[in-house]
Amino acid sequence: MSAVEAGELACHRPAATETEASGEAPAAGAVDGDGSPVIAVVGRPNVGKSTFFARASGRYAEVANVPGTTVSIARRHVRLGGRAAVLIDLPGAFTLTDRSDGLPAFWQLLLAARPDAIVVVVDAGDLRRHLPLALACRDLGVPIVVAANLADEAGARGIEVDLGRLSQLLAAPVHRTIGRQGVGVLAAVGDAIRLAGVRSSGDRAAVRRALPVPPYPADVVRRVSALAGRLAGGDVPTDHVPPELLSAVAAGRLSPVGAATIVAAEDLEPERWAVAERWAAQVERRHAVRPPLADRLARHVTAPWPGLPLFALVTLASLGATMALGTFLSNVLGSAWSAAVSPVLTAVVTALVPIPALAAATLWALDSGLLAMVSVGIPFVLSFYLLLAVLEDSGYLAGAAVLADRIFNALGLPGRAAIPLLAATGCNVPAIYGTRVLDSRRERLLASFLITLTPCSARSAVVIAALAPFAGPLAAFAAFGVVGLIALSAGLAANALVPGHQSPLVLELPPLRRPIARQVGAKAWFRFSSFVTTATPVMLAGSFVLGGLYETGAIGPIGDAIAPLVRGLLGLPPVAGIALALAFLRKELALQLLLVLAVAEYGAGASSLAAFMTSGQLFVYAIVTAVSVPCVATLATLAGEFGWRSALTVSGATLGVALAAGGIVARLVGIA
């Protein structure tokens, strides 16, 4: 047994007794108050870094959905073997110089975290592609510990790694880890904390004078050293060196040599890959084994057969499961609300608010607004997120993204956009957050436009409820077909109109893995709670305004103003226009509102849709509701993600599309 392995066993204890998760600091980059060493966790995507981090910090959390934004960086206080430390989870990175659209380079995120040591999580079964990042981190001059993770998967593929030898070559501790089971994780982090202690006790200046000559060729080392000398003397043309790097050197957060390895990254990277190739050949032992089942299955997922039928099956099953679970939860929560909460709220508000109109508006917000969150938002959004997390963690979504890639290319989107678009059928708000998986702002905007054109569960319910009972289920199907066609043509047009083009796919496919229940739960819960905190206030305020307009009668003039458009263009009765406008606040109320307004306008005889609208009018109404301006919660989300200008442009575009399509359909069915 090598020294490393012995150390691992000595350190390894169960997570529950060793770790203390004591919350998160607001953002990375702040010096930790109590002087605890900072340990950064770095690794390539799909290496199981999040699971590793969760095991190390004793808490599952989804944080790195947004590559490269500082707000998404989790900090956790941990205590291992009597030593306190701050663990920092950085987004997955291929190289230190990675830079995604409009965000700082990865090395800037890493430096902002001010790590005293780095745990580099690598794939024990694919060292050739994972060691270069470990070398790059080591070259910075920060002590590193390498976690040879996914050791179980490597073993199943017949790959064994001589950890002792690798540790000698790297001149850094190497631990065998299995993040999913927690094997070796605490030992690796504990080692990093120990090394961080050595570093902060003042030895570090002595450690870093030059790049270690092995493993790099002498001429490369000379070039880097010369550059480091110039950086130390401040004698560099600033257009060559990012100012953040110079200030890090000036502040003593990075040695000149470390900074030089970033500046010279393009020279060093090929050398690192060559070294990784040599070292991997030295430390790997391979046995011929039958490929594991997961690998054999993974191939079928992306092959046209049976991949395509499977894709259709998974998509339909996902939607079906979301709808079934959502409807069940919705009924349970909705009736619980009506039975227990609603009467209490009504009594309290009526007693406390003396002005009747104000009391009524307040009830619109508190009773109807919150009920909508409880009976529509929560059940459908939460069940969708659970399912999405399962598909994502199992590795299936990446395969599906490959299958769908060519289709989505026509819309200027990569196959990955299939995921948020699927989410949009549940609720547009989380789907727009989901576009963060896309690379560029252009892709995100185009996807968000398509999302706003995709009927969410509330809008689908309106389409079904308006058409199925009065015009037949076929009419409902036809309406969805028309909406799909509208979205497709609008998407094609947007791709042609929005400047720029989409970068072609290069995607690493993760192996199929059994999802971890706790991780799936935590991920779904994290996304869900950010949905609730965004949507609830908007829902409350929107419902209050809607209630106020309705209770004070201010809604009448608004209806009069849009009546010519509604009657002339869409061939609908004027009350339908008011209902459409108010549905901006609450899409799921488009029908109830229509009925309430119709009764107010035409008397009790109008209590059924069929009493005052023909099936042709209902068809147009359903389509315009499904496509027109997103609801206020979606608009707020768009504004939060892209700014008000883009949000209003997207909303205006959907309104234009809805009116144009509604006008055409109205003429086709002969009502205008």
Partner 1 sequence: MRKSESPTQECALADLPAGVPARVVAIDEERLLVLAAHGIRPGVVVSVEDDAPFGGPRIIRLGPARLAIARVVAAAIRVRPEPAADAARTR
- Return residues touching partner 1 (CB under 8 A): 94-95, 98, 125-126, 128-129, 157, 159, 269-270, 273, 298-299, 302-304, 307-308, 401-403, 405-407, 415, 504-509
Is 402 or 582 the residue whose CB approaches partner 1 more closely? Answer: 402
The distance of closest approach from Cβ of residue 123 to partner 1 in the complex, given in angstroms and rounded to an integer, is: 8
The distance of closest approach from Cβ of residue 402 to partner 1 in the complex, given in angstroms and rounded to an integer, is: 4
Helix (H) or strand (E) holding 175: strand 174-176
Is 89 or 153 the residue whose CB approaches partner 1 more closely? Answer: 153
Is 510 or 663 the residue whose CB approaches partner 1 more closely? Answer: 510
Is 233 or 504 the residue whose CB approaches partner 1 more closely? Answer: 504
Whose CA is closest to 396, among 313, 512, 507? 512
Beta strands 74-80 and 83-89, pairing class: antiparallel
- Enter the tokens of residue 45: 């995507």
**CA 554 to CA 560: how far, in whole Å?**
11
Is 99 or 436 the residue whose CB approaches partner 1 more closely? Answer: 99
What secondary structure letter does DSSP report for 663? H
Is 136 or 623 the residue whose CB approaches partner 1 more closely? Answer: 136
Whose CA is closest to 55, among 188, 228, 253, 241? 188
Please state, as a whole number, how many other Cβ atoms lie within 10 Å of the Cβ of residue 569.
Answer: 17
The distance of closest approach from Cβ of residue 176 to partner 1 in the complex, given in angstroms and rounded to an integer, is: 17
- Helix 256-263 and helix 243-250, axial crossing angle in degrees, nearest 10: 170
**Partner residues linked to 77 by β-bridges:** 86
Q: Which amino acid is at 550?
A: Y
**CA 231 to CA 211: how far, in whole Å?**
15
Is 409 or 615 the residue whose CB approaches partner 1 more closely? Answer: 409
The distance of closest approach from Cβ of residue 504 to partner 1 in the complex, given in angstroms and rounded to an integer, is: 4
The distance of closest approach from Cβ of residue 442 to partner 1 in the complex, given in angstroms and rounded to an integer, is: 17
The distance of closest approach from Cβ of residue 158 to partner 1 in the complex, given in angstroms and rounded to an integer, is: 10
3-state secondary structure of 327: helix
**CA 117 to CA 200: how far, in whole Å?**
10
Residues in the chain, overall count: 672
Is 131 or 475 the residue whose CB approaches partner 1 more closely? Answer: 131
Whose CA is closest to 404, among 524, 324, 315? 315
Helix (H) or strand (E) holding 452: helix 441-453
Whose CA is closest to 53, among 17, 18, 26, 78? 78
The distance of closest approach from Cβ of residue 266 to partner 1 in the complex, given in angstroms and rounded to an integer, is: 8
Helix (H) or strand (E) holding 43: strand 38-43
The distance of closest approach from Cβ of residue 279 to partner 1 in the complex, given in angstroms and rounded to an integer, is: 14
The distance of closest approach from Cβ of residue 280 to partner 1 in the complex, given in angstroms and rounded to an integer, is: 9
**Partner residues linked to 183 by β-bridges:** 178
Is 98 or 551 the residue whose CB approaches partner 1 more closely? Answer: 98
What residue has token string 């850094």? 172
Count CA within 13 A, CB hemisphere, residue 602: 17
The distance of closest approach from Cβ of residue 292 to partner 1 in the complex, given in angstroms and rounded to an integer, is: 11
The distance of closest approach from Cβ of residue 135 to partner 1 in the complex, given in angstroms and rounded to an integer, is: 14
How many Å from the N-terminal Cα to the C-terminal Cα in the chain?
84
- Enter the tokens of residue 131: 């060691």
The distance of closest approach from Cβ of residue 94 to partner 1 in the complex, given in angstroms and rounded to an integer, is: 4
The distance of closest approach from Cβ of residue 308 to partner 1 in the complex, given in angstroms and rounded to an integer, is: 6
**CA 93 to CA 74: how far, in whole Å?**
16
Is 129 or 441 the residue whose CB approaches partner 1 more closely? Answer: 129
Q: Is the peptide bond before 510 cis (omega within 30 degrees of 0)?
A: no
**CA 439 to CA 79: how far, in whole Å?**
36
Helix (H) or strand (E) holding 541: helix 517-552
Is 153 or 367 the residue whose CB approaches partner 1 more closely? Answer: 153
Q: Are 405 and 609 in contact (CB under 8 A)?
A: no
Is 401 or 479 the residue whose CB approaches partner 1 more closely? Answer: 401
Is 298 or 462 the residue whose CB approaches partner 1 more closely? Answer: 298
Is 283 or 636 the residue whose CB approaches partner 1 more closely? Answer: 283
Residue 225: CB partners within 8 Å, gap ≥ 6? Answer: 210, 211, 257, 260
What secondary structure letter does DSSP report for 26? S
The distance of closest approach from Cβ of residue 318 to partner 1 in the complex, given in angstroms and rounded to an integer, is: 20
Helix (H) or strand (E) holding 265: helix 265-283
Is 291 or 484 the residue whose CB approaches partner 1 more closely? Answer: 291
- Enter the tokens of residue 409: 């290319």
Helix (H) or strand (E) holding 89: strand 83-89
Tell me the Cα Rg of the chain: 29
The distance of closest approach from Cβ of residue 662 to partner 1 in the complex, given in angstroms and rounded to an integer, is: 32
